Amino acid sequence: DQLQQKIICPGPVTCLTASPNGLYILAGVAESIYLWEVSNGNLLAILNRHYQDLTCLCFTDDSSHFLSGAKDCLALVWNLYNVLQAEPSQIPDPRHVWSRHSLPITDLCCGFGGPLARAATASLDQTAKLWEISSGELLLSVLFDVGIMAVTLDLSEYHMFCGGMDGSIFQVDLCAWPVQRDRTFQTERENGKIFKGHRNQVTCLSVSTDGSLLLSGSHDETVRLWDIQSKQCLKTMNHKGPVTNAFIVLAPANMFNPDGKPSVPLPKFSRHLHGTESSDEPGTEGVTLRLGLHQQEPGQSYLEKAERMYSQMHSTREKNLVGDQEHLTIQVSELEEEVSNLRKINKDLFDFSTRIITKPAK
């Protein structure tokens, strides 16, 4: 199959993610975060608040915030609305700056709850930390014997899974009692909470929606599917090189439909900020609805095209109805009856609300 669109980025992309609502794309290029709008390819923002190369990016489930981690040991929380509202000449401030790691951040994971969600960070400093996005507070820090390369949470957030440099996968109970903010994962005592099978560092982790299966990828060129309850490996898939990413997703409804291919080509992503004079293809057409500053687009927008097509369809339909005068008369009478019914309902609601408002207080 041919690529739908080949997009040339300003430099080597070290991490990439899309917002759950499908409207935005984030990419880490060197120490900068690039934010694109998917519908028209406009580059909306370039964020330069990290001091070294980006390693990971992720969105909250409601697409309202995103998190970034880098080799500078910092994890930043960004409010997407503030980023979109900022002037192109200004770099918005992140909502939180998490600087409790002492070595590069290797992975990020965000739970459910939008701005109230919890996020997990992994680092080469042999710790995985759990944070609260709303307050920015550190909830939990777990120390391991090896550097942590991947981290994920199950949907219920009862467990945090951490992939180590030695190929081990650790299961951390988040509801363990007594509650301790700083905890050490002791391999000897918690041997029943370790997935063993990979022969090299674990690069990615993903939990199924029912919380029963764990998917892991590794530099040993395999992807493994685990049963979480028994810690047994159910399936091993071999690859011809180190696995860099793997995750479990729900199959789309039209996945096996041979006609279910994208009908609208993905636009070419701009390499210059949207609205600047050096913008690529200033006449590019696309959807103009987005959060952020309103900017007038040259040419006809997607919404204008849709409205024009709808009016053409409507006029064609009216022309066809002219030939059938009897059918047209019946349709007009039905519409008039519906309008009269709506007027009666509206009057009844008005009378009811008037009685409630004017009713004297006891």
Token output for 330: 């019946």
Predicted pLDDT at 102: 94
Looking at per-residue pLDDT, the higher value among 81 and 316 belongs to: 81
Distance between CA 232 and CA 215 in Å, rounded? 12
Q: Which residues pair with 182 in a beta bridge?
A: 141
- Between 318 and 4, the more confident residue is 4
Residue 321 vs residue 79, higher pLDDT:
79
Contact call for residues 274 and 42 (beta carbons, < 8 A):
yes
- Each residue's pLDDT tens digit, 282-311: 444 444 444 444 444 445 555 565 566 556
Query: Measuring CA to CA, how many Å separate 55 from each of 10, 58, 342?
Result: 17, 11, 58
- Match 């439909």 to its residue by tokens: 257
> Alpha-carbon distance 318 to 123, whole Å?
65
Q: What are phi and psi of 168, to 5 degrees?
A: -80, 150
Judge whether residue 252 has pLDDT over 80. no
